[in-house]
Each structure stands twice: as structure tokens, then as C-alpha cells.
Amino acid sequence: MAGLVKGNIFNYDVTDFFYAASDDVESAWFGYLAVTTDEGKVGLGRRDILVAWRGTITDSEWFNNVNFFQTSASELFGAGNNAKIHSGFRSLYTRTSSKSPTNKTIAREQVLKAARELVNKYQDEEISITVTGYSSGAALATLNAMDIVANGYNRPTGNSQKSCMVTAFAYAGPRVGNHGLEEEFMTLGDHLRLLRITNFWDPVHHLPSKFLSDYTHLGEELKIDTSKSDYLKRNFIGISSVDLQRDTYSTYIPPPEHLPAEYLDGNFQVEEELEFYATTKGYKRKDNMEEELEIRATTLGFTEGLMENLGQLFIAHGLEVYLHGVAGVQENGFRMEIDHDIALVNKHLDRLKDDYKIPRKWWKNKNRKNMVQIDNGHWKFVENALEVLDQK
């Protein structure tokens, strides 16, 4: 269980998992579709269909992310437009691997088929479609949301007059395509809304460069700055290369019920990956990253104080850090406005101040058994929790 049921009135049931692959990316689980339960429908006020795309995990996906060359989007949106998209994201969305024994259907077809089935099933109710993704998953969610609307998958079969709103939430996403794609996006405005959430110190949403092949962002932007939060650690000194690598990885969006076993434990080649990560960003060696980040800071829009807040570059991209930021008001400092559990910051990371006594990366280590979820959905550390429960 991912712990998304207690204290949550917006309950969903997972209906489908989907997989993606290309000749450059090995076949892997990439996300899921879910639909609100009857109870969730009451809480939300409508029946919502959710599509969630995870972020980068494997080595081959990292290589795919830096395939910045653009290619025509005519396969998705037809001929007669100037839309071009990131080649890596396009291949992952619309291709599969000839070597894969299981992934015979492209991710696009899997998601559109499942979405259409749910729209048909609930067509007599008020429905909506929410598409969300994190990091590279935000890019895929953007293409997927546009695809759904452009090709009528938000309408029941045989009823073109009845369509539902599609809303996309893109967390920490890179740029996806050119100004031609932006023009295509604008034509879908009556049935599509897209909100990009960006964290000030996160470098990912500055990529690919807007000066490279006419890249641009889509939708409306919600800016956050988690460096203002007094709940989070600020120091960079003492962060090991292993922690640095793991915390800059694009953490997946876990499904409400369970995650395929192959993703429960990371087994990354940390040093080699960090070396590759550094070189793809233009740094000659990872040992020189601090010096070169200072030199290159202006390209990211930072004009001063970079070294004082260097750690923020590597804290700011975490998904739970993003959710923490969205839950706060950032005028005149930072204060929590939404009852979002701060313990979740340390679920996969080590970014919550020690004062709050929440173990680091507790979801995957021995402290998992000592984290107890109370009725409001928040997590609390209880020493020897299993023994305490047995005594009761």
C-alpha cells in the first residue's frame, strides 16, 4: 500500500497499468490509470479519470532524455501544422522495442484505449480527465493530454457532442516542443487546461534550452520556491555523491495500491550515472560541478548567491519537495496552507530538518515498520511500533 487512503476523501481505484519502450529505451512500467470510487466521486463532485506518468528511472531513459533533437508531431496532430517535439519523448510515447517480449503495444495506444473505455463506461455521469506526470513524465503527460483532446478521446464513442474537460498537471517538467506545438496547444483551449509547476532552484524546467531548436513551454506556470521553507534542510556540505545522485533522479509517482516489484528497490550504477549526468549538463567532470555551476549560474537565471544555496539545486527537483512547496503560501516567507504531511518529504529523500524526527528515506529502509499512519493520513515515527501494536 502507498498510504493514500487514510484521511483522503478523493479515493481512486487503479484500473490499468501501462508500459513503454523504444529501440533506445528498455521496456518498463511507466504509469497507471485510475478512476474515482463512488466515495471519491462524492468528495470531488464528479467522476474523475486519472492518468499518471512516472519520471526517469533507468539508464536508457536518462540517455533518451538528452535526445533533444526535434521531430514532426504530425503522427499525433495531423499534417498541416508546424508542431515539432522532443525526439526522445516522442519515441517513448509512440514507439516500442522490437526486442521486447512483452511490450508489443505502444504506450500511446495503451493509454488512449483505457481512457476511451472509462469515458464510455461513465458517459452518463459528469466526468473529467486528469493527466499528471513528474519530470520526464510531465513531458509525456503534456503530449498525452494534448493527444486525448486533439483526437477526441475525451468523448464517448459515437457521441461527438459530449466531451469532458482534460486538465494536466506537469510537475518539474522540461520543455517538450517548439512554438508550432504551442500553436497547436492553443487550438485545444476549450477542452484542455495545463498547469506547469516549477521550483525556482530546479534546473530541469530550464531544459532543453529555449535557444535550442526553438523550444518553449506550454500552459500556465505556477512558480514555487521551496528554499523559503523552514521545514527543509539547506546545506549542500555533507551530501554524498550517492545522495546527490539519488535525489536528482526523477522519482516515480507511486500507484495507490502497489508498484511492480522491479521498482521497489533501486539498483543504480551511482558513480557512472553521476558522471554521465554531469557531462550531459555540460560539466567536464562531476568533481568540478561546484566550480562550473558557479560559472554557468547565469544561464539558469541565478545572478548571485549560488554557492550559498547550491544544495537547493539538488533538493529542488524531488517530487515530494514539489508537493511540499505547492502546499505552502510563499508571500513574505513560507507557511503551510494545506494540510500536507511534512513526513512525506523524507519518504524517499533526506531533506526534512532533523528537528521533526522523521527518519530519512523511511519508505525503503528499516524505519518503514516504525512509521505509523494515523487516521488523518499523516505519518508518525513510533519507536518499536510493531512491538507496541502486538502488546495491544
Angle made by CA atoms 44, 49, 55, in degrees to the nearest 5: 110
- Strand 220-224 and strand 192-199: the pairing is parallel
Nearest CA to 200 out of 114, 116, 325 is that of 325
What is the sign of the dihedral through the CA atoms of 101, 107, 113 and 114?
positive
d(CA 130, CA 141): 10
Measured between alpha carbons, how far is residue 63 from residues 92, 191, 273, 285, 316 in Å? Answer: 12, 34, 10, 17, 22
State how far the Cα of 241 lies from the Cα of 247, in Å rounded to an integer: 10
For 23, the grid coordinates are 529501440
- Could you give the C-alpha distances from 336 to 131, 354, 363, in angstroms and in order? 25, 18, 23
Give CA–CA dist 14/167, Å, rounded: 19
Phi-psi region of 34 (alpha: psi -120 to 50; beta: other; left: phi over 0): beta
Q: Which amino acid is at 363?
A: W
Catalytic positions are 135, 202, 317
| DSSP designation for 167 | E
Query: How many C-beta atoms surround the C-beta of residue 208 within 10 A?
Result: 19
CB 111 within 8 A of CB 18: yes
* Strand segments (E) across the chain: 12-20, 28-36, 47-53, 70-72, 84-86, 127-134, 166-171, 177-178, 192-199, 215-216, 220-224, 328-329, 335-336, 371-373, 379-381
Residue closest to 201 by CA, chosen among 313, 359, 338, 80? 313
Amino acid type, 280? T
